[in-house]
Amino acid sequence: MKLALLILEDERPVREALRRDLASFARHVRIEEAEDVPTALEVIEEIDTAGDRLALVMVDHRLPGTSGVDFLIGLADDDRTAAARKVLVTGQADQEDTIRAINEAGLDRYVAKPWQADALCDMVRDQLTAFVVAAGVDPLPHLAVLDAERALSIVRERGDL
């Protein structure tokens, strides 16, 4: 089982920039891209079918068709994706959208464009760890992309079975 990270962003250069800045995660995390909501839902289906777990979605708000915030609200209602950490990566969400994202989708982080690569990596590591802790996933296979201290604190509670 791999942890999966979904980037939902309609502008190709932005998707590529995100993927490039997150390249250090690519060896251990399944990184998927989608340009609109229907594609994103297909990708989620694929992830689920392959037995992987959607751990983190990074979503732009302004998309053709359904908005990023509405997509996140939909995820919060779906059993397969409710546990996924939700991040808005945007420069254009107004206050009302942001309030809805926080209150109705349980938004975890807001990243304003343009982002700093280092801070982005730290945020992704932090959110993947939060997912593993909350979802009760065995952290050991994913240790390389997690905050080791928090991941190991799950392991220490197991005892010598």
Partner 1 sequence: MSTPTTRARVSLPRPTPVQRLGLLLGSIAFLVPLLVEIPGLAPAGHRMLAIFLLAILLWVTEAIPLYATAMLVILLQVLMLSDQALFGGVGPLTSAASYFAALANPVIILFLGGFLIADGAHKFGLDRNLAAVMLRPFAGNARTSVLGLMAITALLSMFVSNTATAATMFAVVIPILAALPAGPARTGVALAIPVAANVGGIGTPVGSPPNAIALGALEASGQGVSFIGWMLLAVPLMLVVLLFAWWFLTRRYIAADTPLTLQLSADFDRSPAAILFYLIAGATVLLWLTEPFHGISSSTVGFLPVVALLATQVMGADDIRRLQWPVLWLVAGGIALGAGIGNSGLDAWLVGLVAWDALPLTLLLFLLVGVSLGLSTVISNSATANLLVPLALSLAIGLPIDPTAVGVMVALACALAMALPISTPPNAVAYATGEVQTREMVVSGIVIGGFGALLLALVMPTVWGALGLL
158 binds partner 1 (CB under 8 A): yes
Instruction: List the one residue from 14, 17, 117, 143 that touches partner 1 (CB under 8 A).
Output: 143
Least distance to partner 1, CB of residue 15, Å = 28
Instruction: List the one residue from 26, 50, 82, 119 that touches partner 1 (CB under 8 A).
Output: 82
Q: Which long-range contacts (CB under 8 A, 24 or more apart) does 88-95 make?
A: 88/59, 88/60, 88/61, 89/9, 89/18, 89/58, 89/59, 89/60, 89/113, 89/115, 90/59, 90/60, 90/61, 90/62, 92/61, 92/62, 93/61, 93/62, 93/68, 93/69
Nearer to partner 1 (CB atom), residue 10 or residue 74? 74
With CB under 8 A as the rule, give the number of residues binding partner 1. 20
List binders of partner 1 among 97-126 (CB under 8 A).
103-104, 106
How far is Cα 64 from Cα 78, in angstroms, rounded to an integer?
22
Query: What residue ranges bind partner 1 (CB under 8 A)?
Result: 79, 82, 103-104, 106, 140-141, 143-144, 148-149, 152-153, 155-161
